[in-house]
Amino acid sequence: MPDTHTAFDTCHPAVPATYFAATGCIAIFAMQPVCVGISLAGALAFSFASRGWRRTLAGLRWQLPMVALVAVANPLFSASGSTLLARLGPMAIYQESIAYGACAGALLVAVVLWFEGAACVLTQDRLLQLGARALPTVTLATSMAAQLVPQLMRRSQAVRAATLATTAAAPAGSRARGVRVADQLMSWSMEDSIERSDAMRARGWGATDRRSCYLPDSFRTADAIALAGIALLAAASALLAYVACSQWRFYPTMPRLVAWWGYLPYVALVLLPTALDLGQRIRWGRVA
């Protein structure tokens, strides 16, 4: 099992939620080669730190071919640009179209990696803690769905196995077998819903307008400082990324990329959790 401890483990859930919301939004809208490369590098670094290199490489086995597929497919649908590379019959393939497709594919992989990292840090209980007081009904529905959907899948397999064992009830492959499975699951779910509603009513759900809840993590001064720092760094990164994107274009010709100090805040933002995690590993002697 890889070590899945991250620098966000000791923070209030609002801190990683704000961080991943900011990095995800910037990654989605910053369609510029340098910004996409920075986002992809940061997402890969955090994925290696939080999910382990085996899971990260296993995901890259289908993510990298997707980048190549988008890069190859884009010139077939968008034959635009000024640098002609080849012709396939009446179809022209331009360098700008391939560059746009590769950039779009890399952006998609970066966003997927950021979402995977967020799912690793923002576990179910931490997400429920964020909306326990503000959205009690939505929180309850989300927690129940997270619990009941796997239960329904397990029951579906049990019912299907039972019907397959009783071949006299319905011939193999018949439509009646599927109807029997759906009917049993429906009756099972309706019975559970009545029992759950009675149990919730007995425990006082809906008795008061404001519902109390257990919050395992308290919002401390350090969390407020971290939240303010992330917000300022994300705002600076978003502003400078907007400037970089406004000066870049893929069609009809791509301008030359130059070194610019404005990329540094975005680099610091995407590498921040990985650097903090590496510092904790060195401090506690957990570096392999």
Q: Give the span between the Cα atoms of 92 and 83, in whole angstroms.
A: 10
Interacting residues of 50 by C-beta distance below 8 A, sequence separation 6+: 4, 6, 117, 120, 121, 273, 277
Q: Give the span between the Cα atoms of 230 and 242, in whole angstroms.
A: 18
* Window from 35-39, 83-87, 162-166, 174-178 with minimum mean pLDDT: 174-178
Check whether 90 has a pLDDT greater than 60: yes
The total of other beta-carbon atoms located within 10 Å of residue 65's CB is 11
Report, as an integer, the average pLDDT of 120-142.
Answer: 71
pLDDT in tens, 196-252: 888 877 877 666 666 666 566 678 898 899 999 999 999 999 999 999 999 998 888
Look at residue 158 in the predicted model and tell me its pLDDT: 85
Q: Amino acid letter at 108?
A: L
What 3-state DSSP class applies to 187?
helix
Reported as a pLDDT band with limits 50, 70 and 90, residue 173 is low
User: Which of 1-15, 63-77, 209-223, 233-247 has the highest average model confidence (pLDDT)?
Assistant: 233-247
Check whether 175 has a pLDDT greater than 70: no
The total of other beta-carbon atoms located within 10 Å of residue 117's CB is 29
Look at residue 18 in the predicted model and tell me its pLDDT: 92
Question: What is each CA distance from 258 to 25, 130, 167, 210, in whole angstroms?
Answer: 24, 42, 71, 56
Identify the residue with better confidence: 182 or 271: 271
* Confidence (pTM): 0.73
Interacting residues of 231 by C-beta distance below 8 A, sequence separation 6+: 18, 22
The total of other beta-carbon atoms located within 10 Å of residue 276's CB is 16
Identify the residue with better confidence: 170 or 265: 265
Q: Give the span between the Cα atoms of 79 and 86, in whole angstroms.
A: 11
Check whether 40 has a pLDDT greater than 90: yes
Check whether 286 has a pLDDT greater than 60: no
Reported as a pLDDT band with limits 50, 70 and 90, residue 288 is very low
CA-closest candidate to residue 226, choices 9, 4, 1: 9
What 3-state DSSP class applies to 123?
coil
Report, as an integer, the average pLDDT of 85-97.
Answer: 79
Q: Give the span between the Cα atoms of 103 and 74, in whole angstroms.
A: 11
Locate the domains of the chain by residue range. Answer: 7-128+219-284, 136-202
Report, as an integer, the average pLDDT of 157-163.
Answer: 82
Identify the residue with better confidence: 128 or 46: 46
Check whether 70 has a pLDDT greater than 50: yes
